[in-house]
A and B are shown apart, each in its own frame.
Chain A
Amino acid sequence: MSFAPNLPLIRLLVVKDWQLFQKQLAAYVLAGIIALALLGLAKPWAFHLGATLLLVVLVAAACFAISTSLLVERKEQTLAFVMSLPVTPLDFTLAKLAGNLLTFGVPYLVLLGGTAMVILGTPIPDGFVVFAVLVFGHVLLAYGLSLAVAMRVESEGWNTFVMIASMVLVNPFIMVIGQIDAIAGPARTDAITWSAPALAILAAQILLFALAIAWTAWSLGRRPAFY
């Protein structure tokens, strides 16, 4: 068995996932523009509505990216068709990971940039950027874990559980970091302060996300056959 990935084929599979994702992306973009317009009204109710809408879009992008490209395809037995193509498990794993990271990564980065723009371009204290990045870090980690489980575990129930549980944990996570003085204190000032606890949490989030993706790629990619 060859461990050299078939890059042209992987590219085709990623493009396929990206094209199937267009409608979802258009919906996220529309919701993002509505959220930014609400934030631009500069009213407290509009700010809360806009910020909530941004978070909903972020979570929806994470869940639907996994659901469309993995869970729905599994239900429709797309893998059986893919197995008839000259594709190795390594190619398929890498294509699925790359496609998912792309379809989630684009809206994720756009929303992260939009949120930073909102904080730095409005009277909201600039220090709140650190708090927001940690919340985005949590969603990234939740997405990474959900993706890893979706690729490893066939049970739809377990997949749904992990996806919902990890995303819902964003609420307690916000409460917990809101209790840490080194994070909550500077968030109320105009200075952007990366305190030791903030850096540690962010590093842990990124490390765990990278581990989840790397472990998935390694464990699935080295299989000699799909089953």
Chain B
Amino acid sequence: MSEPVLHQQPFTNIQTLKPLILTPGDPAGIGPEISLRAWLAGSHNIVLQGDISYFREIADKAKLAINFAEYDAQSFAGNRDTNCHVLHTPWPVPPKLGTPDAANAGQIITAIEQGVAGVKKGQFSALVTNPIAKDSLYQVGFAYPGHTEFLAHLDGHGKRPVMMLANAELRVIPLTVHIPLSEVESSIEDADLSETLLIIGDGLKRYFGLARPHIAVAGLNPHAGEAGYLGRFEVDKLAPFLADFTLEDVQISGPYSADSLFHKEARDTYDAVLCMYHDQALIPVKTVDFFNSVNVTLGLDFIRTSPDHGTAFDRAARLNARPDSLIAAIKLAENMALNAHGN
């Protein structure tokens, strides 16, 4: 992966970057705790959505020395602020760590809607979402397979949301996501490939400071089909598609054998990999750096990142969660905002 060119902003300009808004996710999970740990680790240009008294309770229990303030855009001092700002919205019932309560599900969803509205209005520079648990949201009629699809709905322009996983070593995009492996090949259409490549190319240019990004495309079959001996998808569909498809100022190459695409020397040759299925993308990104991987949604009108893990209900009450992935998500969102700002 080539070095992204971060548009170097003078320090004062970083202060003028609008704060990032952090949704609470499920308050019974590790979201509130890791948000506070991220703030303590130095990410101060963030505003936490949620109940300020609940945050105080978590901070006390986890022995985190934090001063809280209700968010006020006028007094907020960005990265120099010594208070942790909370956009106060009370929970309908007091959350209990480790035990999700459907009574709070409506507010979890409302918080996401408010966060998106705030980013779209320009009050916040990016949306960073904490983990939700779909099962409890389904009980109140949430009808989306996940965060990403819900955000695309709120964005409201009908483009496909594109999920990218990123860390300092690797950026991967699974073309198909949460479907059985048996349905992968039959579900891939040329239109998905072209729309996804377009969104990745635009995203890398706009948010990652890459003037002419290189997207490598993985094959579907072992050895990328070995000239048709191990599957026809590459020969019949993917290679002809790639031969005909061009994007301005984007280099696209492939299809490559997926098992030879992710070691260090290979990673140095491209900026992102378009993978054909979920685990083809997730195995390498998690193997290369499990704790610092970030989930990014491209194709929206705003910047959205999130940590690459779930609510961890089973461990939430221990209050010893690692905030690494959320911190990485905040840093990446900030860099993306600076790059978009500079463009």
Chains A and B belong together in one complex: no
Binding site for A on B (CB under 8 A): none
